[in-house]
Chain A
């Protein structure tokens, strides 16, 4: 495309925004708001995901060996435990070591007079996926020589439910908001097409291509979309920093480690701009569609 032509088209796109600045402003604001909602649910589910990951690391399953087993025969169970899938690590702890840990953690007068024979040999096990904890627990229980398995099932279940709900809700919300944004964008640009319907009619009459007729409106959509995306990104950044600082400074903060924004800034920025561009392009194309049918 020749320079004077693309220059003309880009000028037309900007000029058009100026002629209905209030609606353009409203559109940018709505796109911003939609993107902030999308970004917030995404950040929420990312953080829940991360929490689940850290629970997966902390949350150990302890399998106790039958008291009647000798240490050697207890150690021999390691192979069958490792044979179960979904197990990421297995550590054998003798009753003696367990007793020492216990003594360390509790005051000595409580444990006075206890001897290490009251505790059992045990395996401390980490899982790959805590969603499958129940299944893995029963697999462990069915191994001969394992007397009892201790696992924090409800803990894991709750977080996984929250994550699934958040994912489903955020996907539905994002789809809906993108749709709404395109609708609003397309209506704003329709104002522009209406204001210039004679020009469009003449362009068609003298044989301007559909792409050429469409382009100023698509440019307008892109400018608005990119503006909404950029501003939405900055706003989201500010909101996230503010909220996470609060959380980190609170009591819960000591155990909730949130993802620092810098770590996800680039993919977030790309997503915001991408969605802005998509909303702008579709809005522009949709707004002019009726005019190009003849």
Chain B
């Protein structure tokens, strides 16, 4: 669940106004695409949600946490309710598939038994059963991204946020991944995906929030065509 109200964000280092009075809300269980040209502020929105950066003004609620007022040491609490996925997967190179996923549970203090039960389950969910012992460099891009998705899912987050997760994949792998997100969404997890994949967005018919130059220019079900103004 995300609620943004008149959110503005300026990067102090460059003086760039990355977002200008952005407002929208995403309900529990929704599937939302976030689209827009390069430099429009999509990644900045994601960082506001995960608490990596703070807004200059406006109100942001993420899974019931007020992100404007939250203390730094409380950020882990918010992040435990989120699963984050990046374009470049960010796997730990010297850990195998199983350990990459189990790592996310270990570092938040999960019990050994829980880990032993949960990791195989999510690996099967993302279609990686049988690949547990492989190292990241022994996997295709699509497989590596599915490890990252398994890692994001393993702590049972309320919402998954993915920043261009298909950026390095071919169209067929991208579709597979989007269908996987749809499956996860059907199980109740909120999904927010930043993407440039016009055809996929149109084909899936989900809600699309389009931003340009730091502002929301359209928001609604339908597809990318809403945002053909480019």
**Residues of A in contact with B (beta carbons under 8 Å apart):** 1-2, 4-5, 8, 198-199, 201-210, 212-213, 293-294
Question: B54 to nearest A CB, angstroms?
Answer: 10
- Asked whether A212 and B109 contact (CB < 8 A) given A206-B80, A207-B78, the answer is yes
Question: A200 to nearest B CB, angstroms?
Answer: 10
**Residues of B in contact with A (beta carbons under 8 Å apart):** 50, 52, 72-73, 75-82, 84, 90, 92-93, 103-104, 106-109, 111-112, 151, 155
* Contact between chains at A207 and B77 (CB < 8 Å): yes
* Contact between chains at B106 and A2 (CB < 8 Å): no
B81, closest chain A residue (CB) = A207
How far apart sit A2 and B93, CA to CA, in the bound complex (Å)? 27
Contact of A208 among B76, B78, B82, B112 (CB under 8 A): B76
- Asked whether A212 and B92 contact (CB < 8 A) given A207-B76, A207-B77, the answer is no
* Contact between chains at B92 and A204 (CB < 8 Å): no
* Contact between chains at B103 and A294 (CB < 8 Å): no
Please classify the interface of chain A as helix (H, G, I), strand (E, B), loop, or mixed, using the class held by over half of its residues: helix
Residues of B close to A199: CB separation below 8 A: 92, 103
* Contact between chains at A5 and B73 (CB < 8 Å): no
A198, closest chain B residue (CB) = B92
* Contact between chains at B109 and A206 (CB < 8 Å): no
* Contact between chains at B73 and A205 (CB < 8 Å): no
Residues of A close to B106: CB separation below 8 A: 5, 8
Question: A214 to nearest B CB, angstroms?
Answer: 12
**Which of A4, A8, A207, A208 has the most CB atoms of chain B within a 10 A radius of its CB?**
A207
Question: A15 to nearest B CB, angstroms?
Answer: 11
How far apart sit A293 and B52, CA to CA, in the bound complex (Å)? 10
**15 further contact pairs, Cβ within 8 A, besides A205-B50, A206-B107, A209-B73:** A8-B106, A198-B90, A198-B92, A202-B90, A202-B103, A202-B104, A204-B76, A205-B79, A206-B79, A206-B104, A206-B155, A207-B108, A208-B108, A210-B73, A210-B76
* Contact between chains at B52 and A294 (CB < 8 Å): yes
Nearest 4 CB-CB pairs, A to B?
A207-B79, A207-B80, A208-B107, A207-B76
- Asked whether A204 and B109 contact (CB < 8 A) given A198-B92, A199-B92, A210-B73, the answer is no
- Asked whether A2 and B107 contact (CB < 8 A) given A202-B92, A206-B80, A207-B79, the answer is no
How far apart sit A199 and B129, CA to CA, in the bound complex (Å)? 24
Residues of B close to A209: CB separation below 8 A: 73, 76
